[in-house]
Structure 1
Amino acid sequence: MPTTRQWLGLAALCKEYGDIIHLRTPGKDFIVLGSAAAVSEVLEKRTANSSDRLIGPIVELSGSDWALGLLPYGQRWRDYRRALWQHFHPGAIVKYRPAQESFAPLFLKKLLDKPEGYMDHIRFVFSATLLKIVYGIDIDDDDLEIVRNIREAVEGISECFVPGKFIVDYIPILRYIPEWFPGAGFQKKCVIWRMKQEILKNVPFEQRNTSLCKSEYVMASCTTVVDQLLAGVTKRDELDDAPYWDELVKSIAAVVYEGERAIQSVATMQSTLLAMSLYPEVQQKAQAELDRVVGPGCLPNFADLDSLVYIRAIVKESIRWHTVTPLGIPHRTVEDDFFRGYFVPAGSVIIANSWACMRDPNVYKDPEEFCPDRFIRDGRLDPDVLDPATIIFGSGRRQSMLFLSVASTLHVFNISAPLDNDGNAIRIEPCMSDGALSYLEDCRCTVKLRSPEAAALVEREIAAMRYPPCS
């Protein structure tokens, strides 16, 4: 079992032995799926037997066992899924679009004032948008204690997603050794993680529908996810089990926030900017489409979604090119099963190597290249090309946020390579970090205005947001 950048080692094994392999480690059977076809057959067509989750000692010790991705299959899991579907199915997410659109000018203004801080600005726009949509909390700065604590909690959860990373998962009795015992460093980490998990679930919930802004910007209002969940709970007959439903609401809200922000959106946006600096011809085609469809006097919005085909293809290619969750979320079989003639024991851990699926040359020609055109045919998105979101646990709501961020950024700014002290361009080689959530280790680039008119457009949009609104 590879211990670092596991997706690479597992992909090499699948290349040698086939797209389904079995690994046995102390106390566990691992079934590795190395192709989109195998992932679909096991995780989509056999959901009754493959929807359980791997709940190891480290998950419980860290306090991460409330997260949907680590929740065992059962009634609580079904309640989670039902509530999420009610408020985030394709027809429901439209109501969050005004809130999403209202943060785009503020994001662009931050880029305009301090382009070198684009990494912080990316984190801000997704944090601010999701805090607004989920909790009704308004922020205008990402460097707030509530945001930092949430970020640290998410990082803790991400470490728990890596199967077999901690020795306690192989030798469960080690969960009882004290923190000071040699080799018990995981216990010290878990103490911090448990504290952060409680903050993630409780603090935003308690501060909902408040403003933490110092500036005077008017953001679009919306009915928050928490308000909708609480309204749904009060209509249930199970009110005698109120603590269960209150905890469920807190957990679902936290799942929506940390899942949207950490698993995909921030890292994918960062990789998109890097791709634009490495593939200037892609950026030029995107900006030509924006100029034609949107024009210089407006910012892109969701009304332009259907017409901005190339921008949507860039989002899909970004999700494919940099797989933020390279091994997905480990599943576990409930009962003994047979797959392609192979016996799969009950309790086997199923690992879907999403990274390998996205690098399959039989599915995506020249998979190492960033090529949005692979998703387009005759001026439309090609339905015959595998949508990366179906493998990487993406969704329409995540792609909609990315669409708006990518479109707005490219409409106003040019992205190019970073420069050294002598003004020479630096060639960045994409390299993914280790971990269940993988970020690009180096995604430096240069962000510059496309034109003075673009700066004036941003300033006009910002002026319209100030209170009282400008006439």
Structure 2
Amino acid sequence: MEITYGHRIMSDDDPYIEIAQGVNQIVADAGNPGMTPVDLLPFLKYLPAWFPGAWFIRVARDAQPMIAKFRNYPYNEVKRQMADGTAKVSFLSMHLEELARQGKQTPEDINAVKVAAFQLFGAGGDTASGPNTCLLNTSKTLGQTFSALLTFILAMLHHPEIQKKAQEEIDKVVGNDRLVDFSDRDALPYINCVLWEAIRWHQAAPLGVPRRAMSDDVYKGMFIPKGSMIVANMRAITLEENVYAEPHKFCPERYLPKPAGNSEPFPTFTFGHGRRICPGRFLAENSLWIAAASILSAFNISRARDSKGKEIVPKLEFVNALISHPKPFQCEIRPRFERTASLVHNAVHDDSLDAEARNILAD
């Protein structure tokens, strides 16, 4: 939200959260791309909403006001802040400044920027909140970034020994007097392995974005006619036994060079292929890395306990949808050190980061 609109979420009743949750619910109701009747038979879009089985018409009709609100509300807020001179650096503000500089402020140009900002946030974000002993509510369709982060937390609950090893690496490199930053990344190879294993172990997007064959083709003797819809089975690729030994096992060491590991490749293909590869992959990977490294540096992730003090072992259950994410589970996330709370608080309220953010966006 801050990268896209320059808006920092400080409370659970923030209007941006309400809008985002509404849009996420719309995505969940719409189902997987290419899997609804209207995707296969486009003429069905002309059916009236009352027609039996035309649920997709009703979903599209009811979604329009919320989609429009998410496009326009942040845009209007950023425009107002720019006029007042209070706007923070963001994807939207920088593009609006560039359009103004080039004199390209047609309705089409403005709408393109609105949609791009909408997609940027929608691909990565969702919300969750709760006290130290929390139920991570993931009932709505989540962005892939957030889904991968929840999978990482779930993996740490099942593998406390991996969490301990990762924290030992951080303590050795960073210590406990500051938070992790990107300058530490090269010195934290195990953290990098933990992140990529969370991405591979349970791929957030089990089926790739549908593609269309632009011409007739033949693959392993199978004829693929022009216009065919092709969906990559990303889940099968991440669990390919010829590439990943014991693929269902969460094992960050698999990526380390031999003899410490098995020199298996990072699953970078999870961000797509070819010219349609995810344009936000570097932002997503960096966001995941800094989030996972910061959590491991500042907090201990442990299992919640029931009323009798017995540990609650969360089940490895996932929602299978366009974006697959863990079903709600309980855990405890507590500061590792006395200084952790103040370090995190100071980082959240540090507005001096805007200059660095501008440089990152400019690059």
User: TM-score scaled by structure 2?
Assistant: 0.80
User: Would you say 1:443 and 2:322 are equivalent positions?
Assistant: no
Matched residue of 2:333: which SS? strand
1:269-304 deviations in Å (ceiling 9; x for gaps): 111111111001100011001110110111111121
Q: For residue 178 of structure 1, what is the amino acid of its counterpart?
A: P
Structure 1 residue 451: deviation in Å? 3.2
Equivalent of residue 407 in structure 1, options 261, 284, 293: 293
User: Would you say 1:387 and 2:266 are equivalent positions?
Assistant: yes
Task: Please tell me whether the aligned partners of residues 290 and 308 of structure 1 are also in contact (alpha carbons under 8 angstroms).
Answer: yes
Structure 1: how far apart are the matches of 2:160 and 2:208?
31
Q: 1:246 to 1:287 in 2, by over 3 A?
A: same
- Of stretches 415-424 and 311-320 in structure 1, the one that deviates more from structure 2 is 415-424
Structure 2: how far apart are the matches of 1:316 and 1:138?
27
Q: For residue 295 of structure 1, what is the amino acid of its counterpart?
A: G
Which residue number in structure 2 is paired with residue 257 of structure 1?
A: 121
Structure 2: how far apart are the matches of 1:232 and 1:379?
51
- Of stretches 454-463 and 295-304 in structure 1, the one that deviates more from structure 2 is 454-463
Matched residue of 1:247: which SS? helix
Q: For residue 148 of structure 1, what is the amino acid of its counterpart?
A: E
Structure 1: how far apart are the matches of 2:69 and 2:229?
30
Structure 1 residue 443: deviation in Å? 3.3
Equivalent of residue 333 in structure 1, options 190, 199, 213: 213
Equivalent of residue 175 in structure 2, options 289, 295, 307: 295
For structure 1, list consecutive stretches of 5 or more residues without a partner in the other structure.
1-130, 212-220, 467-471
Task: Please tell me whether the aligned partners of residues 138 and 210 of structure 1 are also in contact (alpha carbons under 8 angstroms).
Answer: no
User: TM-score scaled by structure 1?
Assistant: 0.63
Which residue number in structure 2 is paired with residue 226 of structure 1?
A: 92
Task: Please tell me whether the aligned partners of residues 253 and 261 of structure 2 are also in contact (alpha carbons under 8 angstroms).
Answer: no
Q: 1:444 to 1:328 in 2, by over 3 A?
A: farther
User: Would you say 1:205 and 2:205 are equivalent positions?
Assistant: no
Q: 1:184 to 1:461 in 2, by over 3 A?
A: closer
Structure 1: how far apart are the matches of 2:261 and 2:89?
32
Equivalent of residue 278 in structure 1, options 158, 161, 173: 158
Q: For residue 257 of structure 2, what is the amino acid of its counterpart?
A: R
Task: Please tell me whether the aligned partners of residues 150 and 196 of structure 1 are also in contact (alpha carbons under 8 angstroms).
Answer: no
Matched residue of 1:311: which SS? helix
Structure 1 residue 139: deviation in Å? 2.9
Task: Please tell me whether the aligned partners of residues 318 and 327 of structure 2 are also in contact (alpha carbons under 8 angstroms).
Answer: yes
Q: 1:257 to 1:210 in 2, by over 3 A?
A: farther
Q: For residue 229 of structure 1, what is the amino acid of its counterpart?
A: H
Equivalent of residue 305 in structure 1, options 185, 203, 206: 185
Structure 1 residue 457: deviation in Å? 4.1
Q: For residue 242 of structure 1, what is the amino acid of its counterpart?
A: T
Q: For residue 188 of structure 2, what is the amino acid of its counterpart?
A: L
- Of stretches 330-339 and 143-152 in structure 1, the one that deviates more from structure 2 is 143-152
Structure 1: how far apart are the matches of 2:345 and 2:283?
28
Structure 1: how far apart are the matches of 2:11 and 2:154?
24
Q: For residue 391 of structure 1, what is the amino acid of its counterpart?
A: T
Structure 2: how far apart are the matches of 1:138 and 1:431?
32
Structure 2: how far apart are the matches of 1:178 and 1:374?
54
Q: For residue 197 of structure 1, what is the amino acid of its counterpart?
A: I
Task: Please tell me whether the aligned partners of residues 176 and 337 of structure 2 are also in contact (alpha carbons under 8 angstroms).
Answer: no
Structure 1: how far apart are the matches of 2:150 and 2:347?
24
Structure 1 residue 163: deviation in Å? 4.3
Q: 1:306 to 1:378 in 2, by over 3 A?
A: farther
Q: For residue 249 of structure 1, what is the amino acid of its counterpart?
A: V
Q: 1:166 to 1:458 in 2, by over 3 A?
A: closer
Q: Give matches, 1:80-159, under 5 Å.
A: 131-157=1-27
Structure 1 residue 459: deviation in Å? 5.5
Q: 1:189 to 1:172 in 2, by over 3 A?
A: same
Structure 1 residue 390: deviation in Å? 2.1
For structure 2, list consecutive stretches of 5 or more residues without a partner in the other structure.
82-86, 126-141, 273-277, 353-363
Which residue number in structure 2 is paired with residue 66 of structure 1?
A: none
Structure 2: how far apart are the matches of 1:259 and 1:226?
16
Matched residue of 1:444: which SS? strand
User: Would you say 1:185 and 2:55 are equivalent positions?
Assistant: yes
Equivalent of residue 309 in structure 2, options 394, 402, 423: 423
Task: Please tell me whether the aligned partners of residues 336 and 344 of structure 1 are also in contact (alpha carbons under 8 angstroms).
Answer: yes
User: Would you say 1:168 and 2:38 are equivalent positions?
Assistant: yes
Task: Please tell me whether the aligned partners of residues 72 and 114 of structure 2 are also in contact (alpha carbons under 8 angstroms).
Answer: yes
Structure 2: how far apart are the matches of 1:361 and 1:426?
31
- Two-structure CA RMSD over aligned residues (Å): 2.9
Which residue number in structure 1 is paired with residue 108 of structure 2?
A: 244
Matched residue of 1:181: which SS? coil
Structure 2: how far apart are the matches of 1:145 and 1:229?
23
Structure 1: how far apart are the matches of 2:254 and 2:221?
34
Structure 2: how far apart are the matches of 1:453 and 1:135?
31
Structure 1 residue 424: deviation in Å? 0.9
Matched residue of 2:214: which SS? coil
Structure 1: how far apart are the matches of 2:155 and 2:294?
16
Matched residue of 1:352: which SS? coil
Equivalent of residue 372 in structure 1, options 239, 242, 252: 252
Structure with the bigger RCO (C-alpha within 8 Å, sep 6+) is: 1
Matched residue of 2:16: which SS? helix
Task: Please tell me whether the aligned partners of residues 168 and 175 of structure 1 are also in contact (alpha carbons under 8 angstroms).
Answer: yes
User: Would you say 1:355 and 2:235 are equivalent positions?
Assistant: yes
Structure 1: how far apart are the matches of 2:348 and 2:210?
44
Structure 2: how far apart are the matches of 1:443 and 1:381?
31
- Of stretches 417-426 and 175-184 in structure 1, the one that deviates more from structure 2 is 175-184
